[in-house]
Amino acid sequence: MSLIQTENLTKVYGAGETAITALDHANLNVNAGEFVAVMGPSGCGKSTLLHLLGGLDRPTQGSVSIDGQPLAKLSDDALSQMRRRKIGFVFQFFNLIPILTSVENAALPLLLDGTSPGKAKQKASEWLTKIGLGERLKSRPDQLSAGQQQRVAIARALITDPVLVLADEPTGNLDTKSSDEIAGLLKQIAREWNRAVLMVTHDPRIAAYAECIVLMRDGKIVEDKHNG
Amino acid sequence: MNLQLTLATRYLGGRKLRTFLTTLAIVIGVMVIFGVGIYLPSFTAAFEKSLLSASGQTDVMITHKTGESFSATMLNRVKAVSGVAVIGGSLERIINLPPNFYGKNSTISALALVGIDPSVAPELHEYRITQGRFLKAGDGNVAIISERLADTLGVKLNDAIKLPTTQGVVRLQIVGLIPGRAAVSNEQVIITLAQAQKLLDAPGRVNVIEANLTTKEKTESDAIVNAIKAQLGNTYTLGGLTSGSEFLGAMQMGQIIFNLFGFLTLAMGGFIIFNTFRTIVAERRHDIGMLRAIGANRATIVGFVLTEGLVQGILGTAIGIGLGYLLGVLITTGTSAVIKNIMNIEMSPVVEPSLVIVSIVLGVGVTLFAGLLPALSASRVQPLEAIRPSLGETMQRISRVGTIIGAVMIAIALAGLLVGNFALVALGGFLFLIGLVLIAPALVKPIANWFGGLLAIIFAREGTGELAQGNLTRQPGRAAITAGATMIGLAIVVGAGGMMFSLTGTVMNMFYKSMGSDYLLVPPSIAIWKGDVGASETLKAKIASIPGVGAVNSLRYAQSSLQSAAIKGAGEAAISVLGINPVEYSKMSGMDFQQGNAPDAYNALARDERNAIVNGILAATANLKVGDLMPLATPSGEHQYRIVAIGSDVLSMKINTAYISQTNMKLDFNKSEDIFYQVNLAPGADTATADQWLNQIVADYPQFRLVIGHEYAAEFRAQYDSIFIGFYVLLGVLAFPSLIAILNTLAIGVIERTREIGMLRAIGATRGQVWRTIVAEALLLAAIGTAFGILAGLYLSYVFVEGIGATGIYKMEYVFPFAGVLAATAVGLIFGVIAALFPARQASQMEIIRALRYE
């Protein structure tokens, strides 16, 4: 069974004449260890797809299952727990808490899950070291470069050992060199650490790191092809 | 440290200025409640110490219900009860000493003169003589004092100490010393009963009977005590002497008013915290969204916000209590000179544990409560907000229900004022304030439009005035909350100012009316007469015989109590009875009459009947009207006095008082001691000669201070003002948090409109224009808050004055606080501009590109 399964996933914003169908009967399956890039022009529904997969928004119609668990049936608290334990998020603008250090930011999901601060921070340090930030554990976001901030965000996404990492334009705010590093890291997450990674991007060069590219237009998945 | 606490402390530390300003609101609220809360217990403690009788080491202690002396033959009636082993009568009296009576460095303000029967007293109390001898029958002007008192006065065995008495100053030779007692009451000067009766002009009388019983076993001793009670009747009390409970009641009323101000300040603090947390939640929508996205549930988010509130609440309360203590000490020491001067008691700060608990509960509670709604709103932030830009707030709808409820509340408040019922009027004060807060959002637009017109003239051609006006009216709820905080702040200033002006006006009018004579002979305490030692009738005769003196009026004092079903609680109230000579009194003094009139009242007192004038407090306490009969407890039994008028003078302002004729006072209370004199010179009299004579005569009676009438009025006014200057400073402090409220609202507005401001700058608005828009908005906000504040303040002060009138206690004239209104307007608008400076600078200094990108 696939890790991500969607069936006729549809999201309509507004109602009546002003209704906009952001996602139109999308069907998608992603397996563990797979790195999928979602591409398409602005407004094609790729972010909406990502939000629905992450349980950040509820579909108008259709269903999403993550790791065999249908999201529709989950309460707000259960959904929060699912995001905490099974899904890691990477955002375009990093969304780090400015007053916390790298370690504290990366440790957040574990702390929210009730892990003791000592253990959470130790694990955060291990992940940060693994992705090359061993020297910047105590730095606050404003003391880090954009690429480094995104690495902290990735460490935060990985710390609970999620089955799925969702990345929304993770390189949208980075220079070319940092973009390549981050894309390489996401690939490594899928290949070496056997997570499903789904990344939304505008950039074909970054999409090329993925082994599968999903093309969208007007809310529909128009192509689902494997690289190479 | 857990995550909540880490985030709370880091966020608070990251915004030091805001944390400081917000916490300050709580600090000030708690400070006022704590500081004022210290005052009354301090006063009470000092007061009780001053009036406390000797501690009862004996099995039974009997006093008359009025506290006055009674015939020593009562001893025989108690002695007749079987089970009474030893019995002794004594005559005790607190003697208020004039300032510096024992030299400049003397700290003693009062002494207890105790006359004992030397033959039985040692069986009742232990008198361990360390030097000299004990008293013996037939001793004259000799006394025993404690070693501590001897040290304090710098006297030794066989030296003499002087004491003011009704017969003038007497010198008592010290024949024995006893160890100092660790009691809180006044130091005792012990003499023989016979000598005390002579010095206190009370032959054959005692005011305390003490007895030891044949058994200590409880059931048996209770039976004996009951037998004694049956023997004596209900006009006697078994226990300590009554202390001036009626005065404490008046003080408690004062504390309720102060607590109301403290609570209003805390409420204002609550508004500010509420607004601040709304700012915080608005600022951190992205952070909160991210936390939700990575798995924080709603309860966790509520926890984050409330932890921050808790940290601030605890911090603010702790600092508030610390500063409150200092404030309490400041008020206590600041007013102690005045209190000592008027009432002859020494105060030191007293902190009751309950005050600490109440302050903590209120300080922390208000913070948490104020943080609750923003916390809940934070928990509703969707995880998506971490990713996509917020759409910005659109026009906010005004709640019609709120407006209608608010209008109804204000209507009830105004109706209560018309009806004149005190409970309704007091409730109306709260309803009016809450009603204004509820109705405020609906009023924001019309008021903003009106003031906007003014601003348009100032900022003509730029359009910034209109922009500011638009910014306010699209969030009327938020503008109303800010205006609400400003309103409460200024309402306190105007309201309390109005009360003070009215109170000062009323008191001074009464003062001039009742104390307008050429000279006054003033005892150490003019509010609580109990400890004052007066003079026998000879002094009055001496004064009257001075060449040039036209008229002399004197006051006499006795304690009494009144039983009435109308009196709440015990059904009994302690009252001060003042004896006047109605003919002299009507010529030289005067009252404000609430019922009845002066000529009829004084004529009725002059008749050979038991007639009385009662003051407003007593009339209200016991529900008395003109024509009612009032059963007064006297040492000669209960007597019915008919009420001929209800009226007050400045001396009886705060205490249950009945005025009777001096003839009746002598008859029923066996008192002929004058405790206060007013002297007028005859027309064309030689002032210098009269002055010289008066000084010479009064020198023999140092318990009185000779003052010139108009100088005394000036002195009284100065003392009164010195208390109120402190009060006005306190009011200024109370208004300060409204500044923070405006600052917060402006800051939140700037943060929320970052992109809008960027856009304005991008299309060509200058920094100056952006700056002026924010300042204009602040001025509008301040104007709305000030308008509401003045309205609410005027209402509050009017309610106070009318409320006092409605209780029938005093007739108070409402004095419109013009100065208060002007000050509030100035303060409100200046605060508006000051509060705008920081956010306006922040907005005008914004980098255009970053502002446009801001999400």
**Domain assignment of residue B429, yes or no:** no
Tell me whether residues A85 and B295 touch, CB distance under 8 A. yes
Task: Check whether residue B205 and residue B301 sit in a common domain.
Answer: no
The answer to whether B740 and B22 have CB atoms below 8 angstroms apart is yes
Task: Check whether residue B145 and residue B201 sit in a common domain.
Answer: yes
Question: What are residue A70's DSSP bridge partners?
Answer: A65
Highest average pLDDT, of A139-148, B15-24, B232-241, B835-844, comes from A139-148
- Kindly give the pairing relationship between strand A196-200 and strand A164-168: parallel
Within an 8 Å CB–CB cutoff, is residue B387 touching chain A?
yes
The residues near B206 (Cβ < 8 Å, ≥ 6 apart) are B69, B70, B72, B74, B75, B89, B90, B91, B193
Tell me whether residues A47 and B296 touch, CB distance under 8 A. no
Task: Check whether residue B80 and residue B132 sit in a common domain.
Answer: yes
In percent, the amount of chain B with pLDDT more than 90 equals: 6
Give B801→chain A minimum CA distance, Å.
53
Task: Check whether residue B42 and residue B10 sit in a common domain.
Answer: yes
Task: Check whether residue B794 and residue B841 sit in a common domain.
Answer: yes
**Domain assignment of residue B290, yes or no:** yes
**Domain assignment of residue B396, yes or no:** no
The answer to whether B617 and B575 have CB atoms below 8 angstroms apart is no
The residues near B534 (Cβ < 8 Å, ≥ 6 apart) are B166, B523, B556, B557, B673, B674, B675, B676, B703
Mean pLDDT of B689-705: 85
On average, the pLDDT of chain B sits at 78
A window 138-157, beta carbon within 8 A of B: 156-157
Q: Which residues of A touch B299 (CB under 8 A)?
A: 77
- Which tops the pLDDT comparison, B55 or B407? B407
Read off the pLDDT of residues B185-218 as tens digits, 9 standing for 90 and up: 678 899 999 999 888 888 888 988 888 888 777 7
Task: Check whether residue B651 and residue B726 sit in a common domain.
Answer: no
Tell me whether residues B382 and A56 touch, CB distance under 8 A. yes
Q: Would you state the pLDDT for residue B469?
A: 67
Closest CA to B795 of B413, B266, B257: B413
Tell me whether residues B297 and A99 touch, CB distance under 8 A. no
Distance, in Å, from the CA atom of B604 to the CA atom of B581, rounded to the nearest integer, reads: 12
Within an 8 Å CB–CB cutoff, is residue A84 touching chain B?
yes
Note the helical H segments in B623-766.
662-669, 687-698, 709-752, 754-762
Within an 8 Å CB–CB cutoff, is residue A19 touching chain B?
no
- What confidence category does residue B286 fall into, taking pLDDT thresholds of 50, 70 and 90? confident
pLDDT at B369 over 50: yes
Q: Which residue of B has its CA nearest to A79?
A: B295
B window 565-604, beta carbon within 8 A of A: none
Element (H, E) at B681: strand B674-681
pLDDT at B839 over 70: yes
Q: Which of A138-147, B30-39, B161-170, B450-459 has the lowest mean pLDDT?
A: B450-459
Angle between the N-to-C axes of helices B767-807 and B754-762, in degrees from 0 to 180, rounded to the nearest 10: 140
Read off the pLDDT of residues B725-761 as tens digits, 9 standing for 90 and up: 766 676 666 666 666 666 666 666 676 667 667 766 7
Distance, in Å, from the CA atom of B197 to the CA atom of B116, rounded to the nearest integer, reads: 10
The residues near B184 (Cβ < 8 Å, ≥ 6 apart) are B48, B49, B52
The answer to whether B592 and B649 have CB atoms below 8 angstroms apart is yes
Distance, in Å, from the CA atom of B440 to the CA atom of B402, rounded to the nearest integer, reads: 9
Number of structural domains (chain B) is: 4
A-B contacts (CB, under 8 Å)? 86
Q: Would you state the pLDDT for residue B54?
A: 39
Tell me whether residues B295 and A57 touch, CB distance under 8 A. no
Domain boundary among B242, B258, B291: B242
- Kindly give the pairing relationship between strand B168-178 and strand A196-200: unpaired
Q: Which residue has the tokens 């065995």?
A: B157
Specify the length of chain B in residues: 855
- What confidence category does residue A6 fall into, taking pLDDT thresholds of 50, 70 and 90? very high
Tell me whether residues B295 and A77 touch, CB distance under 8 A. no
Q: Which structure tokens are listed for B695?
A: 């000084």
pLDDT at A175 over 50: yes
The answer to whether B577 and B668 have CB atoms below 8 angstroms apart is no
Mean pLDDT of B494-510: 76
Q: Which structure tokens are listed for B399?
A: 């709640």
Mean pLDDT of B406-422: 78
Secondary structure (3-state) at B116: strand
Read off the pLDDT of residues B289-339 as tens digits, 9 standing for 90 and up: 888 888 888 888 899 889 988 988 999 899 999 998 998 888 788 777 666
Within an 8 Å CB–CB cutoff, is residue B9 touching chain A?
no
Mean pLDDT of B707-715: 81
Residue B660 CB: number of other CB atoms within 10 A?
28
Within an 8 Å CB–CB cutoff, is residue A98 touching chain B?
yes
Read off the pLDDT of residues B580-614 as tens digits, 9 standing for 90 and up: 998 888 888 778 888 888 889 999 999 989 999 99
Beta-carbon-side half-sphere exposure of residue B47 (alpha carbons within 13 Å): 22
Q: Would you state the pLDDT for residue B53?
A: 39
Which member of A47, A76, A108 has the closest CB to residue B294?
Answer: A108
The residues near B717 (Cβ < 8 Å, ≥ 6 apart) are B508, B511
Within an 8 Å CB–CB cutoff, is residue A78 touching chain B?
no
Secondary structure (3-state) at B331: helix
Q: Between vectors from CA A119 to CA A114 and to CA A120, what angle results, nearest 5°?
A: 60
pLDDT at B694 over 80: yes
The residues near B763 (Cβ < 8 Å, ≥ 6 apart) are none
Radius of gyration of chain A, Cα coordinates, nearest whole angstrom = 17
Task: Check whether residue B466 and residue B571 sit in a common domain.
Answer: no
Q: Which residue has the tokens 């402390």?
A: B9
On average, the pLDDT of chain A sits at 89
The residues near B703 (Cβ < 8 Å, ≥ 6 apart) are B95, B96, B97, B98, B164, B523, B524, B532, B533, B534, B535
Residue B48 vs residues B54, B107, B248, B330, B767: alpha-carbon distances, Å = 12, 18, 10, 21, 66
Q: Which of B32-41, B247-256, B430-439 has the lowest mean pLDDT?
A: B247-256
**Domain assignment of residue B404, yes or no:** no
Q: Between vectors from CA A165 to CA A159 and to CA A168, what angle results, nearest 5°?
A: 120
SS (H, E, C) chain A: CCCEEEEEEEEEECCHHHCEEEEEEEEEEECCCCEEEEECCCCCCHHHHHHHHCCCCCCCEEEEEECCEEHHHCCHHHHHHHHHHCEEEECCCCCCCCCCCHHHHHHHHHHHCCCCHHHHHHHHHHHHHHCCCHHHCCCCHHHCCHHHHHHHHHHHHHCCCCCEEEEECCCCCCCHHHHHHHHHHHHHHHHHHCCEEEEECCCHHHHCCCCEEEEEECCEEEEEEECC
Question: What are residue B522's DSSP bridge partners?
Answer: B705
Which residue range forms the structural domain that includes residue B843?
443-516+711-855
Q: Would you state the pLDDT for residue B852?
A: 62
**Domain assignment of residue B234, yes or no:** yes
Residue A72 CB: number of other CB atoms within 10 A?
12
Q: Would you state the pLDDT for residue A10?
A: 94
Q: Would you state the pLDDT for residue B420?
A: 62
**Domain assignment of residue B420, yes or no:** no
Element (H, E) at B549: strand B549-563
Q: Which residue of A has its CA nearest to B292?
A: A80
Closest CA to B193 of B94, B111, B120, B86: B120
The answer to whether B342 and B525 have CB atoms below 8 angstroms apart is yes
Q: Would you state the pLDDT for residue B811?
A: 62
Domain boundary among B179, B210, B242: B242
Task: Check whether residue B638 and residue B721 sit in a common domain.
Answer: no
**Domain assignment of residue B412, yes or no:** no
Task: Check whether residue B204 and residue B285 sit in a common domain.
Answer: no
Q: Would you state the pLDDT for residue A97?
A: 81
Read off the pLDDT of residues A193-220 as tens digits, 9 standing for 90 and up: 899 999 999 899 999 999 999 999 999 9
Mean pLDDT of B100-114: 79
The answer to whether B386 and A91 have CB atoms below 8 angstroms apart is yes
Distance, in Å, from the CA atom of A100 to the CA atom of A137, rounded to the nearest integer, reads: 11
- Which tops the pLDDT comparison, B89 or B51? B89
Give B388→chain A minimum CA distance, Å.
9
Task: Check whether residue B147 and residue B234 sit in a common domain.
Answer: yes
**Domain assignment of residue B5, yes or no:** yes
Tell me whether residues B3 and A57 touch, CB distance under 8 A. no
What is the predicted ipTM?
0.76
Mean pLDDT of B117-144: 87
Q: Would you state the pLDDT for residue B52?
A: 44
Within an 8 Å CB–CB cutoff, is residue B2 touching chain A?
yes
The answer to whether B60 and B225 have CB atoms below 8 angstroms apart is yes
Domain boundary among B199, B223, B242: B242
Residue B231 CB: number of other CB atoms within 10 A?
15
Q: Would you state the pLDDT for residue B763?
A: 66
Give B293→chain A minimum CA distance, Å.
7
Tell me whether residues B3 and A76 touch, CB distance under 8 A. no
Task: Check whether residue B120 and residue B237 sit in a common domain.
Answer: yes
Distance, in Å, from the CA atom of B87 to the CA atom of B120, rounded to the nearest integer, reads: 7
Q: Would you state the pLDDT for residue A200?
A: 92
Task: Check whether residue B169 and residue B208 sit in a common domain.
Answer: yes
Q: Which structure tokens are listed for B269?
A: 């603090």
DSSP letter, residue B652:
G
Tell me whether residues B386 and A95 touch, CB distance under 8 A. yes
In percent, the amount of chain B with pLDDT more than 70 equals: 79
